[in-house]
Structure 1
Amino acid sequence: MPDSTPSPKDSCYQALKTAILTLELQPGADLDEASLSAEFGLSRTPLREVLRRLAGEGYVDLRQNRGARVSEMSHTTLRDFFLAAPMIYGAILRLAAENATPAQIEELKTTQARFRKVLQQGSARDRALVNNRFHEITGEMAGNVYLLPSFQRLLIDHARISMTFYRPRDAAMARSVDEAADQHDQIIAAIEAGDSDAAAMLAIDHWNLSRHRIELFVMPGGLDLPLGAPPRAATA
């Protein structure tokens, strides 16, 4: 059997990706390349390859003569997040319903089963990571070379924001999390049925479910622009 042990480069990539998604590495934090080299047994060249991969996917920024840092979450990027999220999620799920393979649908179902499990006994970190993987799979289903990079970048900030959403502070938040899981099931059903219109509608419902809670914790003062998706009649 082939050795399934991840390489030092793969281990470094996955560890940094996870730390960024779960806020163990805060937005805007500088990355200590010397420490990373020592921790993962990487010389400068393979470490820089890992960092370039992460930069290409939107996890880090590479600055000339200043090293790498975790992608920021500024007022500007969050404004863009709120504007783009419903449009991108809708397009992704519409394409997912049109293009998903049976193997991808089975993986989505398996991930949803894991999500249900971590909702019962997992941490906020576990919940955010499994939810992120659920949506990553829908992006893979969509398979659009132009849309996928934007979707992947969106998921990074959504996962970071979701560290609050998946640590419910009251009964209403807990109900919202349960409803999100129910919507995952509906999304799977629409994709499996090839119903692109239903999948796109569910994307809007799914976004609107979390939007209000995200606003409360990320932008308590509100934004000076309309949030969320346009009315459904405008998207028909």
Structure 2
Amino acid sequence: MKQSPDESPLDTTVPLDRKAVLADTLRRRIVSMELQPGAVVDELALCDEFGLSRPPVRELMRQMAAEGYIELEANRAARVSSMNYHSLRSFFLAAPLIYVATTQLAAANANAADIARLKEIQKRFRQAIDADDVDNRVLYNDQFHLEIGRMAQNDYLMPSLRRLLIDHARLGKTFYRYPASESMQHEMHQAANQHDEIIDAIERRDAERAGELVKAHWELSRRHMTDYAIPEGLEVPLSFA
């Protein structure tokens, strides 16, 4: 008997390009808030949209659940990972610890090729700022810190950083949806300048300075994210001291 497409053992490996496109698209939709926290991820609709059968889509769902993008529960549809009081409280407490640790380790481990990739991402981040391109500004900020995480070469920190960056991007998109004021434009350029300083410290292998810089960089983001998360209906306290 001929196997149906859903039963084929090859379905998880044959459409690699389409599966990769789906993975990239779904991640972008989540961090850009096109798919809101808690929204159902329609598995069948994704199969139709990307021309895939259910096994590779289900495999991708499991992978993205492990990365923190979606939540999987028995007998329930997949949902975009939530943003609530408990998750955001953990986010604001953990973020400075993880960013400092990964950035300091990057300063200890980075090579010339790593630095070149980081500079290219930073170039695109600045271009997005100059073009007032909100989506790419959030995207390349995310990629900047993710690349630093890769440079850190620590298998224990990387999963935490990946999960952290999901909510950082989503909160950033919440903040950047407002028209940029003059002060906001100034602070976006300040953030870009901090990126340059972080790159310089990493390139000089100055782990202490890199840690100090990324801590100040985080503080710049934190002030705005807490200010703008609350009007969106997210229960984010201004201080956890």
- TM-score normalized by the length of structure 2: 0.88
- Within 5 Å, which residues of 2 pair with 1:23-102? 23-102=33-112
Q: Deviations over 1:57-115 (max 9, x none)?
A: 11011111112110001111111111111111110100010011211110000111111
Look up the match of 2:220: 209
Structure 1 counterpart of 2:186? 175
Structure with larger Rg = 2
- Aligned counterpart for 1:184 among listed residues 185, 188, 195: 195
Tell me how far 1:165 sits from its aligned partner. 3.6
Q: Find the aligned partners of 1:225 and 1:126 in 2 and give their Cα distance.
A: 29
Identity, % of aligned positions: 47
Q: Distance in 2 between matches of 1:55 and 1:112?
A: 28
SS of the equivalent of 2:78 reads strand
6 and 122 in structure 1: CA distance in 2 versus 1, 3 angstrom threshold = farther
Q: Does 1:113 align with 2:113?
A: no
Runs of 5+ consecutive residues of structure 1 not aligned to the other structure: 228-236
Alignment check: 8 A CA contact 1:127 1:166 kept: no
How much has 1:224 moved relative to structure 2?
7.1
Determine if the alignment matches structure 1 residue 16 to structure 2 residue 30: no
Match for 1:143 among 153, 175, 178? 153
C-alpha distance in structure 1 between counterparts of 2:63 and 2:139, whole Å: 19
Please, which of 196, 220, 226 is the counterpart of residue 240 of structure 2?
A: 226
Alpha-carbon contact 1:166-1:177 (below 8 Å) kept: no
Aligned-pair CA distance for 1:155: 0.3
SS of 1:63's partner is coil
8 Å Cα contact 1:8-1:40 kept in structure 2: yes
> Which residue of 1 is the match for residue 4 of structure 2?
none
**Paired position in structure 2 for 1:131:** 141
SS of the counterpart of 1:93? Answer: helix
Which runs of no fewer than 5 residues in structure 2 stay unpaired? 1-14
Corresponding position of 1:234: none
RMSD: 1.7
